[in-house]
Amino acid sequence: MQFTIEQINKLAPDDASAKAGRGLAINSKWQLRCVHDKALWGDCQGSGKTPYRTIVDLTNLAFKCSCPSRKFPCKHGLGLLFLYTDNPSVFSAETELAPHVAEWIDKRVTKAESKPATEKIPNEQTQQKRVESREKKVTDGIAEMRMWLKDVIRTGIINVPQNPYQFNQNIIARMVDSQAGGLANQLRRINQINFYKEGWQKALTKQLSRIYLLTESYNNIQSLPVELQSDIRTLIGWNTAKQEVLATAGVKDEWLVLAITLEEENNLKTERIWLYGIETKKYALILNFYVGAQTQAHAYIVGGTIKGELVYYPSQMPLRALFKDPVEIKSSFQIPSINQNIQELLNEVSIQLSQNPFADQVPYILNPVKVYFEKEQWLIVDNEGKILPLNNNTAECWTILAITRGKHLNGFGIYENEAFKLLSLWQDNQYNSIS
């Protein structure tokens, strides 16, 4: 398995760990450095007398260390991997795993093969009561939300930019109380509108009317197709139990990790892992949430692949997914060989909206396209001369232009609100993360 510095950096739970890890990528820090087809292991001299024993599972990337750090992977695991990437010749090649390494690897294999423990499910009656109680709360909340939306539109939105970040705070809090977290999130998206830039009027009206239509759909949910019902319930804030999803049939493929993004709001980090099936040519999105100091619980490598079975959450246009069984993480670099232009992207948007009018994010690979700017606006243009506004921030746009040097690019991004946001691109056989 060959890693790049950027890939290892992305594995770090935070910048400090990555930096500390690089500080440990020094030969002299490691009393023992061994490599085997299946694992890397080493003893790192810390501040105590006994060195920390660090292992990296190379077959299915994972870390283990005897240090007391709660971070995963810890700086020693990262340091060992950095050192191996930087200078593999200092590792002694072993034909057999050391006993403690073999024990850990065996345990991992056994665990992977055993079936996951089933969660304790409350009895049906209690569950039913809970659902009914929540339904009532949500219905009451929706009624309040519709009232609020009507009030806003009756008086007009012209004065909203005077107080753009406060005008929806009470109704957001009300939706949280009503256990309609999805609606609260829809309302929060209003705060992402740039009220200092022309165009806010359309963006705000669009979002307000979209939320209203969503509440209308929820009120008439029984008349909709089953898959669309799931989409609407999810957008309102209902969760589909993981067990339920895992019980459905999966899609086996080698999944290319297109991009991993992390957003933080109110002490909650939302991680989005965008995947693309090399055989099935399907996109998938894995959502992870971390609270407070929680860090990522996976070792996926951007630009690399994951071999495994994905199960999609029920949806008219399935996108959100989960891995069904333990997966095989590969750092082998892959470039999607797709030629798609902007017209094809917009056709796809059309299809998605016809299936689910609330589809707001469409993942797509555009190739070949160029990035340029005109009249202070950043644009993406394809070979047919069709353009779309680029939704990245200015710093990211300059980075994209620098990486591509004005040449064509092969990039993955998200279509949203009539613009495209590039999250990653492949240039000169190299993967580049933009987010």
Partner 1 sequence: MQEDIIKTALLGTGKMPLKASSDLEDFASRIIARQEDKEDAFLKYAGLAFIYQESGLEPAEGTSSIEECAAETLKELNSNINQYLLDALQAKDEILFDYLIFRAVQARKVAPAAIVPKLLNKAIEQKGKADKILPVCGELGKWLCSMNPEWKKISEKESETANWETGNHEERQRFLKALRLQNPSEARELLIADFDQENAANRTDFIDLLETGLSLQDEEFLMKCLADKSKKVKESALQLLRILKDSLINKSFVNHLLKVILIKEERQLLILKKKVLHIDTSAVLPDEILQYGIEKVSSQKGVDDNFFQLAQLFAYVEPAVLVQALNTEKEEFFRLLTEHPQAVLLQPFLTEAALRFKDNLLAEKILSMDNSFNSKLLELISEEQKNAFLDNYIEQHLIAVLDILLDNRYQLLQHNMAERIIKRLAINPYQVAQPVYQRLALALPASLIKLLEAHANDDANDYQKRYFSNQAATMLRYIELRDRLHI
- Between 410 and 432, name the residue whose CB sits nearer to partner 1: 432
Query: By CB under 8 A, what part of segment 33-52 binds partner 1?
Result: none
Quick check: 417 and 203 in contact, CB under 8 A? yes
Site string for partner 1, 243-282 (x = CB under 8 A): ----------------------------------------
Site string for partner 1, 72-111 (x = CB under 8 A): --------------x-------------------------
Minimum distance of partner 1 from residue 341's CB (angstroms): 9
Stretch that binds partner 1, among 116-124, 306-314, 320-328, 350-358 (CB under 8 A): 350-358
Q: Report the distance separating Cα 151 and Cα 167, nearest Å.
A: 12
Is 406 a binding residue for partner 1 by CB under 8 A? The answer is yes
Q: Which of 93, 173, 213, 293 binds partner 1 (CB under 8 A)?
A: 213
Q: Report the distance separating Cα 371 and Cα 30, nearest Å.
A: 45
Residue 102: helix, strand or coil by DSSP? helix
Closest Cα to residue 229, out of 356, 320, 321? 356
> Which residue has tokens 């987010």?
435
Q: Report the distance separating Cα 339 and Cα 176, nearest Å.
A: 43
Residue 364: phi, psi to the nearest 5?
Answer: -160, 145
Q: Report the distance separating Cα 181 and Cα 38, nearest Å.
A: 44
Minimum distance of partner 1 from residue 205's CB (angstroms): 4
Q: Which of 1, 9, 13, 79 binds partner 1 (CB under 8 A)?
A: 9
- Between 40 and 204, name the residue whose CB sits nearer to partner 1: 204
- Between 391 and 432, name the residue whose CB sits nearer to partner 1: 432
Taking CA atoms, 344 is separated from 337, 339, 350, in Å, by 16, 10, 10
Is 113 a binding residue for partner 1 by CB under 8 A? The answer is no
Is 186 a binding residue for partner 1 by CB under 8 A? The answer is no
Taking CA atoms, 110 is separated from 104, 114, 287, in Å, by 10, 6, 27
Is 198 a binding residue for partner 1 by CB under 8 A? The answer is no
Q: Report the distance separating Cα 268 and Cα 259, nearest Å.
A: 20
The tokens for 346 are 């917009």
- Between 156 and 292, name the residue whose CB sits nearer to partner 1: 156
- Between 87 and 170, name the residue whose CB sits nearer to partner 1: 87
Q: Which residues of 8-19 are buried (b: 16+ CB within 10 A; e: fewer)?
A: bbbbbbeeebbe
Stretch that binds partner 1, among 69-77, 112-120, 233-241, 399-407 (CB under 8 A): 399-407
The tokens for 389 are 């506004």
Minimum distance of partner 1 from residue 21's CB (angstroms): 11
Q: Which of 14, 19, 116, 194 binds partner 1 (CB under 8 A)?
A: 19
- Between 239 and 339, name the residue whose CB sits nearer to partner 1: 339
Is 349 a binding residue for partner 1 by CB under 8 A? The answer is yes
Q: Which of 235, 236, 275, 388 binds partner 1 (CB under 8 A)?
A: 388
Q: Which of 278, 290, 353, 361 binds partner 1 (CB under 8 A)?
A: 353
Q: Report the distance separating Cα 2 and Cα 307, nearest Å.
A: 17
Provide the CB-side half-sphere exposure for 25 (13 A, CA): 19
Is 153 a binding residue for partner 1 by CB under 8 A? The answer is yes
Count other Cβ atoms within 10 Å, centred on residue 359.
Answer: 19
The tokens for 363 are 């993942």
Which distant-in-sequence residues (6+ apart) come within 8 Å of 95 by Cβ? 36
Provide the CB-side half-sphere exposure for 184 (13 A, CA): 16
The tokens for 102 are 């073999």
Is 4 a binding residue for partner 1 by CB under 8 A? The answer is yes
Residue 123: helix, strand or coil by DSSP? coil
CA 230 to chain centre: 21
Q: Which of 128, 205, 239, 332 binds partner 1 (CB under 8 A)?
A: 205
Q: Which of 107, 202, 242, 281 binds partner 1 (CB under 8 A)?
A: 202
The tokens for 219 are 């009120």
Q: Report the distance separating Cα 411 and Cα 213, nearest Å.
A: 33
> Which residue has tokens 């949430």?
289
- Between 49 and 405, name the residue whose CB sits nearer to partner 1: 405
Quick check: 46 and 67 in contact, CB under 8 A? yes
Minimum distance of partner 1 from residue 315's CB (angstroms): 17
Q: Which of 158, 226, 249, 291 binds partner 1 (CB under 8 A)?
A: 158
Site string for partner 1, 216-235 (x = CB under 8 A): x-------------------
Residue ranges that bind partner 1, judged by CB under 8 A: 4-6, 9, 15, 19, 22-23, 26, 28, 86, 146, 149-150, 153-158, 201-202, 204-206, 208-210, 212-213, 216, 342-343, 346, 349-350, 353-354, 357, 370-374, 379, 381, 385-388, 395, 398-399, 401-403, 405-407, 418, 432
